[in-house]
Amino acid sequence: MIDVLVEIDVKTDVVLVEIIGILVEIHVRTDVVVVEIIGVLVEIDVKTDVVLVEIIGVLVEVDVRADVVLVKIIGVLVEIDVKADVVLVEIIGVLVEIDVKTDVALVEMIGVLVEIDVRDVAVVEIIGVLVEIDVKADVVVVEIIGVLIEIDVRSDVVVVEIIGVLVEIDVKANVVVVDIIGVLVEIDIKAGVVVVEIIVEVVEIDVKTDAVVVDIIVEIDVNAAGCGC
């Protein structure tokens, strides 16, 4: 394994492996590998050469024989080339290159270069905002415009308080519904479009049909040039 410390206890038939600071326990007798990564249990069936992983409620199937890992996380297809030691990931249309050897992920989000140190703490600057992510803990603490945001990775819902307003973000869905100072904001992560209701009126949002009923709508295309991103 690449830069992996492996400790084998022959008597107990248990292999203890540390990968990027993550403890992996392998039971040789049962031919099943049980791994806990950031509070997520991963079960690997050695006989079938297929890894079934559930991450944030998403089932991931890894074919070990092909040396390529195809992962679908939050509806995004991720291809990992094990031989090249480089992980190429496309998240929300953003190409992410992770160098496994250096434990550093170079990510470009909205034209901003993000360097993530996988070993411990990821310090990310997004649109001039410093984001510190504690990889070991299951909580991501983010400061945006002087506001502390605490994200519990284990749950599928992110509850954020911005300027005294509670914001609930459903990680599984691709739509973020935010109520800021009486203004309803719907952010479509895939389309990169922000729909904002300026005048405070009754607003109905059908998450399934992505339909928003408002009086006055201002549409901002985040991907458009000159948006200040």
At 172, phi and psi to the nearest 5? -70, -45
CA atoms of 76 and 45, how far apart (whole Å):
24
3-state secondary structure of 40: strand
Structure tokens given for 160: 């954020």
- Predicted confidence at residue 161, as pLDDT, reads 36
**What is the number of residues in the chain?**
229
Q: What is the DSSP string of 60-111?
A: EEEETTTTEEEEEETTEEEEEETTTTEEEEEETTEEEEEETTTTEEEEEETT
pTM score over 0.75 = no
Tell me the pLDDT tens digit for each residue of 176-226.
444 333 344 444 434 434 443 332 333 333 333 333 333 333 333 444 434
CA atoms of 138 and 134, how far apart (whole Å):
8
Instruction: Write down the mean pLDDT value for the chain.
Output: 38
| Residue 227 DSSP symbol | S
